[in-house]
Amino acid sequence: MKVAIIGAGWAGCAAAVEATRLGHQVTLFDASRTAGGRARRVMATVAGEQLALDNGQHILIGAYSETLRLMRDVGVDEQAALLRLPLTLQFPDGSGLELPRWPAPLDAFAGILGARGWSWAARLSLLKVAIGWQSAGFKCRPEQSVLDLCQGLSARAMTALIEPLCVSALNTPPERASGQVFLRVMHDSLFALSGGSNLLLPRVDLSALLPDAALAWLAAHGGAARLGVRVQTIMPTAPGWTLDGQVFDRIVLACPPSEAARLVEGSGVAAEAWLKLARGLQYEALSTVYLHAPGAGLHRPMLALVSSAEEPAQFAFDRARLGGPQGLLAFVISASISDSATLTRQAQAQAARQLGLTALQPVLTIVEKRATFACTPGLQRPGARIARGLLACGDYIAGPYPATLEGAVRSGLAAVRCLD
């Protein structure tokens, strides 16, 4: 079939590769000239030199099985593109948790027991809660939040582990985050697969990590990518669809939910229920502050930070340890609420107080106001099927995962497998 895929983010790239692999003739559209969606390359000037950074500092984990498989399929060298480390949430004072290279779930339990700077009461409280999750089959009532799941947990375990994991995976604070989605992430990353909890830190920019290779693979296998083209209208035309006057058998909407809703409403198809769910999503911002100073650096590629309203960054990354220039650091603020100027000042102050780095200067601050949907308890998300021959994919589509790269890739693959 002739298949149009609208959106060249990670979901759209996955859908385009899979559809081509299944024998369809694919045309991939995107309004941007850079593929990757909300995980893409941006250019910035660092110490007078033009460098490729990212619109947000993302990480992958070992449990991202479909993303890693897709990367291999399109020719990405995983070892060259990603730095693989055991899960480590170490703070600047040396406290924190570091998992050994053991089979799951022994690595998680050993990491908890060996957590530095934790009292035995804190360690045992986390073990008790984790065993409770495991005994319940990693399931809870739909209305429960992550905070609800952590009753009886010590304040130390909550602030040093659960809060950083929750905001990094769901981009939603524990008191508002879905307990069931969090449990699924915990199961798949810490308890199901050996190496699933590993941190995979990109050594290349996010467009080079997958989208560029996917587009090259697509072109080599007869597909076409039209970047810098915003689709205006789609219309059902029996037995298929027209897209700005071009005829296709199927259309997959791999664009953001607001853009997908615009196209669906303009098509005239009866999809009120889908539109209501897509438009009803609430969003969380995700911000990355890039700071630079000659000689600045961290003793690890990534450090966890103590986060507060005045010092909101949860993580700091040393880009020099990931193939970037010396002295460039990235500070990540999940579920951010302030403007870019405020976040920049706060990150500088946080770096000075917690890391002792007082000379860092701003390079670039990126605030993605609609980085992810708010992953709240009992949230109803729109499904993949919209109308005959019209499907949607993306990290916001109904599924077990939050708004992650793996969720986007899985959604793209699943949508294509429903084309017939």
Boundary-marking domain end, from 195, 215, 239: 195
The answer to the question of residue 68 being in a domain is no
Distance of alpha carbon 73 from alpha carbon 218, whole angstroms: 11
CB 173 within 8 A of CB 166: yes
Strands 60-61 and 49-54: unpaired
Boundary-marking domain end, from 147, 167, 195: 195
The verdict on 150 and 190 lying in the same domain is yes
The verdict on 184 and 98 lying in the same domain is yes
Boundary-marking domain end, from 165, 195, 225: 195
The answer to the question of residue 61 being in a domain is no
Query: What sign for the dihedral angle of Cα 243, 217, 14, 318?
Result: negative
User: CB-based contacts of 110: which residues, under 8 Å, 6+ apart?
Assistant: 99, 100, 102
pLDDT at residue 47 in the model: 82
Coil vs helix vs strand at 257: helix
The answer to the question of residue 159 being in a domain is yes
pLDDT at residue 420 in the model: 79
Q: Distance between terminal CA atoms of the chain?
A: 9
Residue 39 Cα to chain centre, angstroms: 8
The answer to the question of residue 52 being in a domain is no
Nearest to 5 by CA among 214, 187, 168: 214
Where does residue 220 rank: exposed (0-12), middle (13-18), buried (19+ CB within 10 A)?
A: exposed
Q: What is the pLDDT along the chain (420 residues), one digit of tens a residue?
A: 999 999 999 999 999 999 999 999 999 999 999 999 999 999 999 888 899 999 999 999 999 999 999 999 999 999 999 999 999 999 999 999 999 999 988 998 899 999 999 999 999 999 999 999 999 999 999 999 999 999 999 999 999 999 999 999 999 999 999 999 999 999 998 888 889 999 999 999 999 999 999 999 999 999 999 999 999 999 999 889 999 999 999 999 999 999 999 999 999 999 999 999 999 999 999 999 999 999 999 999 999 999 999 999 999 999 999 999 999 999 999 999 999 999 999 999 999 999 999 999 999 999 999 999 999 999 999 999 999 999 999 999 999 999 999 999 999 999 999 997
Q: What is the CATH number of the domain that holds 356?
A: 3.90.660.20
The answer to the question of residue 145 being in a domain is yes
CB crowding 14-30: b at 16 or more within 10 Å, else e: bbbbbbbeeebebbbbb
Coil vs helix vs strand at 127: helix
The verdict on 91 and 191 lying in the same domain is yes
pLDDT at residue 9 in the model: 97
- The Cα-based distances of 366 to 30, 49, 218 in angstroms read 21, 19, 30
CB 285 within 8 A of CB 343: no
The verdict on 291 and 365 lying in the same domain is yes
Phi and psi torsions of 164, nearest 5°: -60, -40
pLDDT at residue 345 in the model: 98
The verdict on 263 and 410 lying in the same domain is yes
Domain that holds residue 113: 87-195
The verdict on 24 and 137 lying in the same domain is no
The verdict on 258 and 397 lying in the same domain is yes
- The structure's pTM equals 0.95
pLDDT at residue 48 in the model: 86
Q: What is the CATH number of the domain that holds 34?
A: 3.50.50.60
- Residue tagged 């809060």 (tokens): 163
Where does residue 91 rank: exposed (0-12), middle (13-18), buried (19+ CB within 10 A)?
A: middle
The answer to the question of residue 77 being in a domain is no
CA angle 11, 36, 192 (to 5 degrees): 50
The verdict on 386 and 247 lying in the same domain is yes
Structure tokens at 139: 């399931």
The verdict on 395 and 357 lying in the same domain is no
The answer to the question of residue 63 being in a domain is no
> Phi-psi bin for 125: left (phi > 0), alpha (psi -120 to 50), beta?
alpha
Distance of alpha carbon 169 from alpha carbon 186, whole angstroms: 10
The verdict on 102 and 190 lying in the same domain is yes
The verdict on 250 and 392 lying in the same domain is yes
- For the chain, the domain total comes to 3
The answer to the question of residue 243 being in a domain is yes
The verdict on 289 and 364 lying in the same domain is yes
